[in-house]
């Protein structure tokens, strides 16, 4: 095995569990992350100069893990790896069907994952071009997505709002609504799963992440998702101390929907 991939496998095995002694469950999850195709994909990315070695975990989830990688010039990138074994394929099909950019007829799980990764890459590219504050997409390959690393120069990742409350909640929320306005009205996309779990607090300014499920504005379920997004952030930021009303949010987003 290529030493870079061997090193990657070794690093992830260390990162899966914070306990000294791995359980059977820990080893199972590790094998789900680094199956043969994922290792081969990482080898290709390393061979093409996109990564040199994996260097830590940024976040772990049911469907994907985000890892930090170091390039040869010692700069950082984020590597998002989707897992075949634990992904919610019904959910993926729900968000992809009705999107005119995709014509997915196969029920092959690996193919669906690859299309899901491509969907997130295309959504990020569209948002980035619209100057929405999102991570810059680098490349999508199979079940792997490379993104701009969001953090400091020492490699410490920015925290989600859920874990790091903004210093000034209303100011931060207002900045978030400015970004969402561009998201909705310039990029013509709806996030679809917006919450304080997928908004980063980067130097007290919001950066939106996790846009794989995001749909185009004329998608059949777009309004339903938009209403859900608005309700989510309204309630979550209210708990943090925001004074914004639903009407204020709607006005700042320049939308006309019945939200109660």
- pLDDT tens for 19-48 read 334 443 344 444 456 778 888 999 999 999
Q: What is the mean pLDDT of residues 223-252?
A: 96
pLDDT digits (tens, 9 = 90+) for 162-193: 999 999 999 999 999 999 999 999 999 999 99
CA distances from 79 to 141, 191, 233 (A): 11, 21, 27
The answer to whether residue 171 sits within a structural domain is yes
> Which domain-ending residue is among 93, 117, 148?
148
Q: Using the predicted structure, report yes or no on whether residue 104 has a pLDDT greater than 70.
A: no
Q: Does 259 map to a domain? A: no
Q: Is the dihedral of CA 23, 28, 32, 34 positive or negative?
A: positive
Q: Which of 74, 193, 203, 218 is catalytic?
A: 193
**Is 35 annotated in the active site?**
no
Both 117 and 238 in one domain: the answer is no
50 domain-assigned: yes
How much is the average pLDDT of 157-165? 97
Cα separation, 195 vs 201, in Å, equals 12
Percent helix, strand and coil across the chain, each rounded to 5? 40, 20, 40
- The question of whether 26 is a catalytic residue gets the answer no
User: What is the structure's pLDDT at 171?
Assistant: 98
Indicate the pTM of the whole model. 0.84
Quote the tokens at residue 134. Answer: 């999102």
Once rounded to an integer, what is the mean pLDDT over residues 118-146? Answer: 97
pLDDT value at residue 111: 80
Assigned domain for 154 exists:
no
pLDDT (0 to 100) of residue 10: 58
**Residue tagged active-site, from 210, 218, 254, 256:** 210
pLDDT score for 35: 77
Show the domain range for 249. Answer: 159-253
Please report, for the domain that includes residue 85, its CATH number.
3.30.200.20
In this structure, the answer to whether residues 88 and 199 fall within a common structural domain is no
């Amino acid at each position: 095995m290529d030493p870079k991939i061997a090193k990657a496998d070794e690093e992830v095995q260390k990162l899966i569990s914070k306990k000294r002694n791995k359980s059977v469950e820990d080893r199972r999850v590790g094998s789900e992350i680094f199956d043969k195709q994922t290792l081969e994909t990482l080898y290709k990315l390393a061979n093409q100069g996109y990564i040199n070695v994996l260097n830590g975990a940024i976040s772990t989830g049911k469907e994907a893990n985000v890892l930090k990688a170091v390039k040869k010039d010692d700069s950082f990138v984020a590597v998002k790896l989707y897992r075949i074994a634990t992904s919610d394929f019904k959910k993926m099909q729900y968000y992809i069907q009705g999107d005119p950019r995709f014509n997915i007829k196969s029920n092959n799980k690996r193919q669906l994952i690859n299309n899901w990764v491509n969907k997130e890459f295309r959504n990020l590219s569209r948002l980035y071009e619209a100057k929405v504050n999102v991570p810059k997409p680098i490349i999508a390959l199979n079940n792997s997505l490379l993104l701009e690393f969001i953090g400091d120069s020492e490699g410490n990742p920015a925290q989600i709002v859920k874990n790091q409350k903004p210093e000034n909640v209303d100011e931060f929320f207002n900045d978030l609504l400015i970004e969402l306005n561009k998201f909705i009205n310039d990029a013509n996309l709806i996030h679809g799963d917006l919450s304080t779990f997928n908004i980063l607090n980067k130097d007290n300014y919001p950066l939106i992440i996790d846009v794989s499920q995001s749909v185009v504005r004329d998608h059949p379920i777009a309004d339903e998702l938009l209403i859900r997004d608005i309700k989510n952030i309204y309630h979550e930021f209210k708990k943090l101390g925001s004074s914004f009303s639903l009407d204020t949010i709607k006005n700042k987003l320049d939308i006309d929907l019945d939200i109660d």
